[in-house]
């Protein structure tokens, strides 16, 4: 686990879960391999870090920090994707209302058929359902997380007439996409205040996995990640709209990312995976 990810790998929940179809491997516990070795951060986590670093640089008015964020963001090759529709009937909130997420961390779900993996050369699939009624129609001030181009532009603005800094920024922009980290996939969700998204995402067993939620900064997002058995292993309810979580599943399976908008305006966030 990295950064704000909270390790609750052995947490028990009172949420209802439907088991994966029986296969030879024991899939009754938490779908995390505790013996997996550490792996360097991939594209999803790097993009999340870039957003946090950018926000810090803007707050401090520091062109160098913003430039560092821009270089991180530009280093990742991201594929944008559209989420399929997740059947809402598969998702069970124990108490039947939004408060259950805050109390119990996340809903359980009935996963799809086994071997839920992507075909060779295709981006990872994801499906999403949205729950509860919006409490506001306010669209907020931001359209989404900041792009690398926008970060470079902000760095130039903060550099003002500093020729040395401007030269560093131009060099970084010219470097472009050389040496990019590949394999990141992103989905954009424009989540109104008071609503909750639940995402279903497949991952291979014994293969490094990353999930990042990166908001636009307008509101607090509460985020929880569970396996198909309803076990929570990453969870964040701080005053933030970002979460980064890496792990190694023990078997092929689905994972569920629950994102709740706790603010008063819309939050346009990215869900990203490797």
Q: Per residue in 122-139, pLDDT tens?
A: 667 899 999 999 999 999
In a domain, residue 219? The reply is: yes
Counting residues of the chain whose pLDDT is more than 90, the rounded percentage is 41
Q: How many domains does the chain have?
A: 1
Identify the CA nearest to 229 among candidates 251, 209, 261, 246: 251
Average pLDDT, the chain: 79
Could you tell me the CATH number of the domain that includes residue 105? Answer: 2.60.120.380
**What residue numbers bound the domain in which 209 lies?**
81-146+181-273
Q: What per-residue confidence (pLDDT) applies to 42?
A: 78
Q: Which pTM does this prediction carry?
A: 0.77
User: Is pLDDT larger for residue 57 or for residue 96?
Assistant: 57
Q: Among 10-19, 251-260, 262-271, whose mean pLDDT is lowest? A: 10-19
Q: What per-residue confidence (pLDDT) applies to 110?
A: 53
Q: Which two tokens stand for residue 241?
A: 């709209």
Beta pairing, strands 108-109 & 91-92: antiparallel
In a domain, residue 86? The reply is: yes
Sequence-separated (6 or more) residues with CB below 8 Å from residue 209: 203, 246, 247, 248, 249, 255, 273, 274
Check: CB of residue 91 under 8 Å from CB of residue 111: no
In a domain, residue 14? The reply is: no
The partner residues of 226 in beta bridges, in order of sequence, read: 232, 256
In a domain, residue 248? The reply is: yes
Q: Which two tokens stand for residue 85?
A: 């529709």
Q: What per-residue confidence (pLDDT) applies to 9?
A: 27
In a domain, residue 163? The reply is: no
Q: Percentage helix, strand, coil, to 5, in the chain?
A: 25, 25, 50
In a domain, residue 41? The reply is: no
Q: Per residue in 139-197, pLDDT tens?
A: 988 887 888 999 999 999 999 999 999 999 999 898 865 555 556 889 999 999 999 99
């Amino acid at each position: 686990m990295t950064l704000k990810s909270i390790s609750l790998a052995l947490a028990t929940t009172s949420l209802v879960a439907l088991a994966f179809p029986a296969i030879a491997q024991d899939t009754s516990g938490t779908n995390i391999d505790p013996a997996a070795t550490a792996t360097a951060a991939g594209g999803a986590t790097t993009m999340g870090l870039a957003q946090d670093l950018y926000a810090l640089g803007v707050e401090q008015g520091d062109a160098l920090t913003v430039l560092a964020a821009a270089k991180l963001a530009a280093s990742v090759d991201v594929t944008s994707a559209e989420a399929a529709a997740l059947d809402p009937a598969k998702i069970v909130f124990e108490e039947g209302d939004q408060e259950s997420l805050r109390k119990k961390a996340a809903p359980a779900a009935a996963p799809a058929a086994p071997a839920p993996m992507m075909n060779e050369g295709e981006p990872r699939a994801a499906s999403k359902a949205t729950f509860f009624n919006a409490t506001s129609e306010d669209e907020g001030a931001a359209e989404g997380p900041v792009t690398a181009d926008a970060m470079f532009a902000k760095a130039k603005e903060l550099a003002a007439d500093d020729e040395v800094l401007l030269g560093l920024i131009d060099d970084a922009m010219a470097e472009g996409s050389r040496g990019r980290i590949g394999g990141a996939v992103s989905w954009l969700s424009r989540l109104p205040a008071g609503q909750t998204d639940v995402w279903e995402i497949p991952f291979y067993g014994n293969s490094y996995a990353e999930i990042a939620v990166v908001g636009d900064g307008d509101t607090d997002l509460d985020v929880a990640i569970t396996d198909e058995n309803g076990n929570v292993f990453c969870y964040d309810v701080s005053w933030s709209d970002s979460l980064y979580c890496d792990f190694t599943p023990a078997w092929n399976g689905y994972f569920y990312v629950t994102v709740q908008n706790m603010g008063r305006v819309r939050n346009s966030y990215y869900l990203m995976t490797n």
